[in-house]
Amino acid sequence: MSQVDEFQRNFRLIVEKIFNSWQNLRLAVEHGMGGRNGQQVAIQIMDYTYQYCVGNENITQGELQAVIEELMDQEFNTLCDDNSIQEISRNLLRYKQMCLQNQYQSVENELKKLPNCKEWLRNDVKIAYTPIAGEDSSTDEDDGSSDEGEMDIDDSDDNEAATSSRVTRSQTRKQQDDFVEPELGWTTVRSKRK
């Protein structure tokens, strides 16, 4: 295997690991921001980001950040206000340089520090989503007596969020204090600051 092939194969795995760990992207898909094909759109964004990084030698962090922000805005009507895109851009470019210098073990050690997430950006994995059409944004508080607005979560990981197979939107919003919907069709994600 040539060095170029090894770089591309390893860098592809890095991009997949980072995008599978990106909660904002998963939330956008689960909340139906990309429509019925949101998961496929997310896979395309991941693929495009990989191709953009591999196909351009001298990308700045700002350029990559602008590309990902534009994709999230265009495809999901989502603005990530929590610096996650900045962090992803910085890490992708740093890991790209490390891979070009054959520092794969160092990259692997750093990636092991990421939360162990189930790979969901694959065609053989189905993510349930809640369609936004007809959504009444004035009902942020739900008494739990209705099944309307519920979404299936298909995570079998052993974490505290997977205690039930169905979670209502209001429960999801209560768990994420900084989830804000400023306008219909837009989602702003903010980092938790305690």
Q: What is the pLDDT of residue 125?
A: 87
Give me the pLDDT at residue 163, please. Answer: 30
| Domain boundaries along the sequence of the chain | 3-111
Q: Cα(156)–Cα(80) distance, rounded to whole angstroms? A: 27
- pLDDT above 60 (res 41): yes
- Using 50, 70 and 90 to split pLDDT, how confident is the model at 121? very high
pLDDT score for 130: 78
Which pLDDT band, with edges at 50, 70 and 90, does 171 fall under?
very low
Each residue of 21-54: b (16+ CB within 10 Å) or e? bbebbbbbbbbbbbeeebbebbbebbeebbebbe
Q: Are 153 and 128 in contact (CB under 8 A)?
A: yes
> What whole-number distance in Å separates Cα of residue 24 and Cα of residue 177?
14
57: DSSP letter: S
Nearest to 176 by CA among 15, 7, 6, 26: 26
Q: Which residue has the tokens 């004035």?
A: 138
pLDDT at 102: 92
Residue pLDDT, tens place only, 5-37 = 999 999 999 999 999 999 999 999 999 998 989
Query: Does the pLDDT of residue 144 top 80, yes or no?
Result: no
Q: Are 154 and 148 in contact (CB under 8 A)?
A: no
Give the helix/strand (H/E) hosting 3. helix 3-21
